[in-house]
Amino acid sequence: MELFWKNGAMTTSEIRESMPEPRPHINTVSTQVRMLESYGFLGHTKEGTGYRYHYQIEWQDYNNEFNGNPFMRCLKNSYLKAVSALVKDDKITVEELRDLIDIIESEK
């Protein structure tokens, strides 16, 4: 979405070219764009044999509605669920979590 807010309407080729290396395959870009369109974030206009995609939702509206954090959105903004998911997926150890609790408690 940031690419659209920054650059305006783009084709899938233009989207891909604006991405840093290593760039995803054009089919991956196309799939992501169609998914964003199905959610109502993007729209398109016919251009030649393809489409030019444009944003349908302003950055501020997106940020207000989704807090810009898909991870927290999936967990319904529950920090307890977020931390539990991190521990379950071995992204943070129980010992690191205890250290974090100690840091938080020492700052109170």
Q: What is the pLDDT of residue 88?
A: 82
Model pTM score: 0.57
| Paired tokens of 53 | 């995609």
More confident residue, 77 or 24: 24
CA distance 26 to 32: 10
Give the helix/strand (H/E) hosting 28. Answer: helix 26-38
* Distance between start and end Cα atoms, the chain: 38
| Paired tokens of 103 | 């840091």
Q: What is the pLDDT of residues 53-103, one digit of tens each?
A: 999 988 877 766 665 566 656 666 567 777 777 788 888 888 888 888 888
